[in-house]
A and B are shown apart, each in its own frame.
Chain A
Amino acid sequence: MKKFLTIFICKLLRFAGKLIGKGSSKPGQVALKLCPDILSRVQLPKYIIAVTGSNGKTSTVEMIAHILTQNGYSVAWNKEGSNQIEGVTTLVLGSATLGGKVKSDILLIESDERFARYTFRYIKPTHYVITNLYRDQLTRNGHPEWVYDALADSITDGTQLILNADDPLVSSFGHGRNNVVWFGADKLSSDTETLDSVYNDGAYCPVCKSPMTYTTHHYNHIGHYACTKCGYKRQNTQYTITSVDLEKGEMTIDGKHTITLALKSLYNIYNILSAYTVASIVGVDGAKIAADMNNYVLKNGRVITFELGGRQGTLLTSKHENSISYDQSIRVASACKDGCDVMFIVDAVSRKYFTSDVSWLYDIDFEMLDNGSIHQIVLAGKYVNDLAVRFSYTDIPDSKIKRFEDIGEAVDFLNSDRREYIYVITCFSDKGKFLAKVKGE
């Protein structure tokens, strides 16, 4: 009876919440209060697929849901991205009958890294994807090894781990463990032999702390590595990006499935590969997956095209406090051949909590913008002075840089008769302040 009531109330709150546009974590929060072990009382489907990691969770989960749905599976997933235990509870109970049986073929859960150990205490994933561990929101997360330890607590026996072989820290979850599937990329044409990054989180072996060497870097510390001492090294992969042409916008998986990319970033190809891996494991044919991913445009609104006066542009939602996310966006902008302007906004460091920490700016490789096709760089927001100081430590000529504390003034400056394409790189916390002033897609 308690179970019935809890599920009923959770569904009711969710329904009411949707009507008034409220988020999806409250109903689960109430349900957990009413019945703390409710998650262990529901009947779960055969496939419980969890996805976690620093970057790409939301996109990967969306892609997995898309592929599986296209291929006839019913999928319950946390579309709204509420990825802590409350949001997952809302998802599970919302997809369950009042008797407590989840009706879908597949339960697909995006989980926050730090809270996975609470969520998966009750819901044990059958398949557990870990995408990457980067310096991400360190003002809350501490550092990648701290997150690693928290995630290690969420992994139980019997779960099949699906790991990014190219990330040394993530891959070490599978060290000495059976039942692991590795995905990753072969040496790619866009690779570099030496590290192109401000810092190197792959300098030392995660297992024994001896120096590591890389034969190739896909980006940052993601690549092909081997410890010089203990033998820890990148694993061979079962699902593999065999080639990529970012200029043309194409990737090939396992040498046979070519996918046209709607978003030409290395990030995107990893998200597609991890979705491909999961869908293959569930039983979808590779050619079918490739067709479903072909030209797939994410619906989560992270890449937004806009018009400003007579000018065109794209906002690349990046994450403040996450240098690799910025590096990826900067890479997209700096690859622009015809010349472009780039704008950065740091106004509120986070939308969820207060901090004025800007140390993460020093981990971003702004130096990539020191090329002839980047014409004007516009810095804006409350922390414009910190951005200005950070840029003073690059080789980019000061004459290219314009600074505005007021975002409106920065937009007015860009609203000129210049013809260059505009890239705006900022975070969820600040993008609305820009988009309110332009014509969206």
Chain B
Amino acid sequence: MMKILHLYYDIMNLYGDYANVAAMKRMLEKNGEEVTVDKLTLGGDIRFDEYDFVFVGSGTERNLRVVLEDLRRHTEGLKAYIDSGKTALFTGNSFEMLGKALCDSTGKTVDGLGIFDFTTAEQNKTRWTSDVIYSCDFLTQPLVGFVNKCSEIKGVSNAPFTAKMGLSNVDGDCKEGVRDKNFFGTHLTGPVLIKNPHFLAYLAEKVLGRAPETDYLTFERAGFDVTLCELSKRMGNA
């Protein structure tokens, strides 16, 4: 029996991010596992150590603050989960909570959970959005997707991705996201694990402890190829 935690499912779910949970559930089931998904939100009794995969999606800047205050009481639990090498994916702005500090567009700063050393600063003038291509050293193919944010992150020491096209952690440096063991934070939004079936397979291998069966991902792979081709054309023209 494997357990997935979809945390803040109803308040951090702006761009169809919930689909990542559905994709992981299906992958584990296709590989013979019985899977339960717990959907928890504000005020929930969160016991990280019970889970095999934890997911949090993107939220509005206001909702991120509300969630940060709720998650604060579980800082130790989350830290222990990450340190133990268990698998987690935080998409969109959600991983910004795990840094040292979070500064809003008025300059007001709140403490983050302090699990990582980076700091985040938001602005409210321009919505920074772009289609992206990210490469990384642990996958043979790049990731594709979309970033939709208003923040910049400084001080990440272990960023897993390199932006070949589109937005990164901070302007002027192409590194993107944050990684610690099998915890992945990325500004990619939406159904990241559906758009990138190879990344799903990679994370599933961490969760399962063995290489998963992935032959069923036919349309996912074809969809990835089309998107990568479209984005590459775009990048070529730029």
Contacts and interface: CB of A to CB of B under 8 A. Distances in A.
Contacts of B95: none
A139 B129 CA distance: 6
Interface in A350-371: 354-363
A143 interface: yes
Interface stretch (A81-89, A197-205, A268-276): A197-205
B10 interface: yes
B87 to A, nearest CB: 21
A301 interface: no
Interface stretch (B48-56, B58-66, B112-120, B169-177): B58-66
Sorting the interface of chain B by its residue count into under 10, 10 to 19, 20 to 34 or 35 or more gives 35 or more
Given A142-B127, A354-B234, A363-B16, 18 more contacts: A142-B129, A143-B60, A145-B61, A199-B10, A203-B11, A354-B131, A356-B144, A356-B231, A357-B131, A357-B145, A358-B195, A359-B190, A362-B19, A362-B190, A363-B15, A386-B223, A389-B220, A393-B22
17 contacts: A138-B148, A139-B146, A139-B148, A140-B127, A141-B127, A143-B60, A145-B60, A145-B61, A149-B124, A199-B16, A204-B63, A359-B16, A359-B191, A385-B219, A385-B220, A389-B219, A393-B19
B120 to A, nearest CB: 16
A26 interface: no
Contacts of A140: 127, 129
Nearest to A135: B14
A356 B62 contact: no
A362 B131 contact: no
A392 interface: yes
Contacts of B186: none
Contact of A357 (B61, B146, B219): B146
B153 interface: no
A188 interface: no
B75 interface: no
A360 B148 contact: no
Contacts of A139: 129, 146, 148
A437 interface: no
A144 B16 CA distance: 14
Given A139-B148, A362-B19, A209 B66 contact: yes
A209 B62 contact: yes
A122 interface: no
Interface string B188-215: 0111001100000000000000000000
B191 A362 contact: yes
Contacts of B61: 145-146
Nearest to A145: B60
Interface in B20-39: 22
Contacts of B60: 143-146
A208 to B, nearest CB: 10
A120 interface: no
A113 to B, nearest CB: 12
A140 B147 CA distance: 11
Given A382-B226, A385-B222, A393-B19, A355 B14 contact: no
B13 interface: yes
Nearest to A206: B62
A266 interface: no
Interface string A283-305: 00000000000000000000000
Contacts of B42: 211
B234 A360 contact: no
A383 interface: yes
Across chains A and B, which 4 residue pairs bring their CB atoms closest together, nearest first? A359-B190, A362-B16, A385-B223, A142-B127
B131 A142 contact: no
Contacts, number: 102
A405 to B, nearest CB: 9
B18 interface: yes
A321 B22 CA distance: 21
Given A141-B127, A142-B129, A389-B219, A199 B13 contact: yes
Given A362-B19, A362-B191, A356 B227 contact: yes
Given A359-B146, A382-B226, A203 B18 contact: no
B2 interface: no
B230 interface: yes
B146 A355 contact: yes
B190 A389 contact: no
Nearest to A139: B129
Nearest to A360: B16
A203 B223 contact: no
Given A209-B62, A209-B63, A385-B223, A356 B148 contact: no
A143 B234 CA distance: 25
Nearest to B217: A389
A75 interface: no
Contacts of A146: 60-61, 127, 150
A389 B200 CA distance: 14
Interface in A118-175: 135, 138-146, 149
Contacts of A145: 60-62
A85 B34 CA distance: 56
Contacts of A386: 195, 219, 223, 226-227
Contacts of A199: 10, 13, 16, 18
Contacts of B222: 385
The winner among B22, B61, B191 for most chain A CB atoms within 10 A is B191
A196 to B, nearest CB: 15
A388 interface: yes
A361 B194 CA distance: 12
A392 B219 contact: yes
Contacts of B15: 138, 359-360, 362-363
The winner among A139, A144, A360 for most chain B CB atoms within 10 A is A139
